[in-house]
Amino acid sequence: MALAASVCVAALVFACKDDNNNGKTEDKNAVFDMFEIHSGLNKIKLKWKITDPNVASTIVYWSKRSETRTVQVTQAEWQELLLEDMEEDVYYFEFVMQDKSGNLSDPIEIQGAAYGDKYIESLPIRGASLEKLANGSVEVTWEPIGSATLKHSVIEYLDGSTPANKEVPNSESQTTLPSTSSTIAIYAVHEPLGGLDQFNSNKRRIFMPKNPALLDKSLFEPFFLPGDNTTPQPGNRDDAWKDPLPVDIDHRDIRALWDGNIRNNPLPGGTARGIFHTENQSGQLENARFKFPHCFTFSIGTMAYITDIKMHARGDNNPFTEHVPRFWEIWVTDNPKSRADFGNDDEFEQYYRVTYANFRAPDEQIRTQPDGGAITGLEFIATPPEGIYNWQEDWVRLGDLENAKPSELPHNQHNDSDRAVWGHGNDDLDLTTCGFLFELEDIDTKVKYIRLVIKYPNWHHTNCINIGEITLWGEY
């Protein structure tokens, strides 16, 4: 698509009929001395020069001759034709010369292109990284130039609260910004060879490097929202999210996500609850109160950048069986909307209860019941109404994740790699050596609230969830 302007010299031969020569034809050369084509944003400029005094005009066709222009020729001067409002595409132009008697030459075809959004999206940006210097200023280190059309780069940033920008020449390897700089983004300015316009690439944010460490789980606490699966506690009711968790509670409640134990049974002393395990509502099929996607919300207790997450399975089950999630998402926010942000209770609850998710071919996930009946999985999935303003428009998704099986062996078959990631068969389990670890998208924003969205199917194709533990890394 990226066509450089081309220059060519061609001789066009056409037959001119001489009425005074008894109907005979005489070949005459019309010289197409030079030609150039220049691409721009939704436009193309055609330039050519002719010295043959017999040529009176040039007819230009394109789009399968559905479009045409005629240009009167002035010999030995450049003729120009600027075509605007052109769709982004490659075009094939036909040039036909007409002499003073109206005779036409054979056409010659020349290719050209008009640029547009797709071209802009393809433009590369110069690689860059940030570092905070000892004096507080921000240093941008640039990677070498990798594109012949890149003219220079531009940094945009906030200097305190004031927008600022700086043009960076290709020869510059490091750029220093004030200590008050934030929200730093870069883009590249490109100029195609022989192009009509300069083009700005799409912008890309660059972030300060993080120094992640384990987040303190003692600060974590439940933060129930409408739509959360509140089983086993506070209960199997639509409004159970309003109820506090009792101090003396079943060991399978949501607090088991950060207790340090991925076995079903609590550890001695009552400090570790075991696993988080929702009520199994598979037998209720379409009448189940809670369906996929199952949502669970909690607070990490303070603001932090979130960089990595690890999900631990239930370690005392065989690997890749039972109700452990397979597909799931993590969403975050620093300021969740509350009831005060809505006109009534129904608007507030609808906002949180409606959750959109992309499922992995749920109609192909068929499980046979003991009585021989089949469950397709569609019974376990809630279908939300379309076009609802919901919480996902305000929260940010950091990852769309899969707890993948290393061996890819069939169900109920596993090897040492599967057992290692699952944490199976190790009574003195070190949580740092097992689990599904994921690096998350860097949004360069501190957050406090986490919402897990668990999608169908789990590893046993049931309407139930159990999780051993959730571990988070980040920077306070």
Spatial distance between the Cα atoms of 432 and 282, rounded to a whole number of angstroms: 33
On whether the CB atoms of residues 245 and 234 are closer than 8 A, the answer is yes
Residue pair 393/226 in contact by the 8 Å Cβ criterion: no
Rounded distance, CA 83 to CA 262, Å?
A: 68
User: How far is the C-alpha of 93 from the C-alpha of 60, rounded, in Å?
Assistant: 7
Residue 124 tokens read as 């590369």
In order of start, what are the domains of the chain with their CATH numbers? 7-116 (2.60.40.10), 123-205 (2.60.40.10), 213-475 (2.60.120.260)
Q: Tell me the torsion sign for CA atoms 303, 308, 313, 316.
A: negative
* Per-residue three-class SS string for 159-175: ECCEEEEEEEECCCCEE
Dihedral in degrees, nearest 10, Cα atoms 50, 54, 57, 58: -50
| Phi (first) and psi of residue 169, to 5 degrees | -70, 155
Check residue 421 and give its pLDDT.
93
CA dihedral 403, 325, 415, 309 (to 10 degrees): 40
Measured in degrees and rounded to the nearest 5, phi and psi for residue 121 equal -65, -25
Q: In this predicted structure, what is the pLDDT of residue 429? A: 63
Side-chain-facing half-sphere of 116: CA atoms under 13 Å: 12
- C-alpha distances in Å from residue 243, one per residue of 290, 350, 450: 17, 18, 19
| 419 Cβ contact partners less than 8 Å away, ≥ 6 residues apart | 319, 425
Q: Are the CB atoms for 92 and 109 separated by under 8 Å?
A: yes
As given in the structure block, the two tokens for residue 201 are: 């690439």
Q: Given phi > 0 = left and psi -120 to 50 = alpha, else beta, which region is 417? A: alpha
Name the residue with tokens 């669970």.
Answer: 296
Q: What pLDDT score does 52 carry?
A: 87
Residue 307: predicted pLDDT: 97
**Tens-place pLDDT, residues 43-57:** 999 999 988 888 999
Q: What pLDDT does residue 19 have?
A: 42
pLDDT (0 to 100) of residue 412: 81
Per the CB < 8 A criterion, the answer to whether 333 and 394 are in contact is yes
Q: What is the pLDDT of residue 226?
A: 98
Q: Are strands 150-159 and 181-190 parallel, antiparallel or unpaired?
A: antiparallel
Intervals of the chain under pLDDT 50: 1-30
